[in-house]
Copies of this chain bind each other. A is one copy, B any other.
Amino acid sequence: MIVILKPNPNEDQLESLKSWLIGKGLQIHMSIGTSHMILGLVGDTSALDIDLISALEIVEDVKRVQEPYKNANRKFHPEDTVIPVGSTQVGGGTLTIMAGPCSVESREQIIAVAKAVKASGATMLRGGAFKPRTSPYSFQGMGAEGIELLKIAREQTGLPIVSEIMDASQLPLFADVDVIQVGARNMQNFNLLKVLGAQPKPVLIKRGLSSTYEELLMSAEYVMASGNEQVILCERGIRTFETYTRNTLDISAIPVLKHLTHLPVIVDPSHATGKYALVAPLALGAVAAGCDGLLIEVHNDPAHALSDGPQSLNPDAFDKLNRKLIALHGFLKEGEAAK
């Protein structure tokens, strides 16, 4: 970490800062320029609060040189993490397709969708039992019953299931869910992250609407530091000034995250845009940009979905899209192999 001091810093404050830093076990390299003095901190700075230091009166700016995340950092773990889930895996060259309805609504619905997406080549079934809704007056999901229906659909198709947890108190219900999803609005629910780090199921973390790459990785770090290294990252659109789409899908997140971390990166084009016509081009774009998989909403009857349905594809449209995605993934892998 580098601390840039303001010109002519107060000496008492400088001494106080230096002894505080030394007390944290750090070495200080001072470097004096024409207008500014710079402190280079050597040692483990991951527990240092950058905001704290940068707000000191004598400090002009602070620059972290090492990333504040360790377990998630590719520098210390160069090999891609591959996460086995049922008979499939996430990462390691597999194209993971998590498909299914936004909300589980009935036994018939979830089984029908599960069978359809399985037939089209999906590798996992996703479905929401607990739904985070902006309005207290909106449908909040089937809850525990929804989880049970997902398990029945898994039994009938063999597809592992992915579902969103909203609160640590719901954890017992997720004991037999294959991948536990943390929603964008809970990305910095640190208590929930810690609890998920202390259980054995893989955790899929969605990027918050205004979260930086580093913050997403720090949320992964919370889970990993608590003992669970099976974390999947999911880009699902960020909030920008553009309102034509619900959010702005940030496809750069794919190569950036793949560079910074060894964790698998998947993309959710359905939620990002809120417009089903954009799902196919963005899903293709995400695969070409190198993602490890996609989270795609599929509904057996979009017009009657109770929740978020309209951004869903129906099984026919999904079938057409998924065949293209698989073909594209195959084409790109061949290209890599030919090198």
Whether B255 contacts A277 by the Cβ 8 Å rule is yes
Which residues of the other chain, B, contact A75 by a CB distance below 8 angstroms?
Answer: 7
User: How far does the Cβ of A93 sit from chain B's closest Cβ, in whole Å?
Assistant: 16
Q: A193-235: which residues lie under 8 A (CB-CB) from chain B? A: 194, 208-210, 212-215, 218, 221-222, 225-226
Partner-binding segment picked from A77-85, A105-113, A151-159, A306-314: A306-314
Q: With A2-B38, A52-B307, A289-B282 known to touch, is A63 a contact of B63 (CB < 8 Å)?
A: yes
- Complex Cα distance, B96 from A215, in Å, reads 33
Which residues of the other chain, B, contact A252 by a CB distance below 8 angstroms?
Answer: 245, 248-249, 272-273, 278, 282
- Complex Cα distance, B254 from A60, in Å, reads 19
Any B CB within 8 A of the CB of A288: yes
Number of copies: 4
Interface string of A39-76 (1 = CB under 8 A from B): 01011001101011111110111010110100000010
User: How far does the Cβ of A235 sit from chain B's closest Cβ, in whole Å?
Assistant: 11
Whether A137 contacts B31 by the Cβ 8 Å rule is no
Contact of A240 among B241, B303, B327 (CB under 8 A): B241
Any B CB within 8 A of the CB of A172: no
Any B CB within 8 A of the CB of A167: yes
Q: With A189-B189, A190-B132, A277-B255 known to touch, is A308 a contact of B51 (CB < 8 Å)?
A: yes
Contact of A137 among B47, B51, B138 (CB under 8 A): B47
Whether A42 contacts B34 by the Cβ 8 Å rule is yes
Whether A277 contacts B259 by the Cβ 8 Å rule is yes
Q: With A243-B243, A331-B328 known to touch, is A218 a contact of B288 (CB < 8 Å)?
A: no
User: How far does the Cβ of A248 sit from chain B's closest Cβ, in whole Å?
Assistant: 6
Whether A241 contacts B244 by the Cβ 8 Å rule is no
Which residues of the other chain, B, contact A290 by a CB distance below 8 angstroms?
Answer: 281, 284
User: How far does the Cβ of A23 sit from chain B's closest Cβ, in whole Å?
Assistant: 10
Contact of A282 among B46, B66, B245, B255 (CB under 8 A): B255
Question: Apart from A33-B65, A210-B239, A212-B244, what 6 extra A-B contacts exist at CB < 8 Å?
Answer: A35-B65, A51-B246, A52-B305, A52-B310, A167-B189, A238-B242
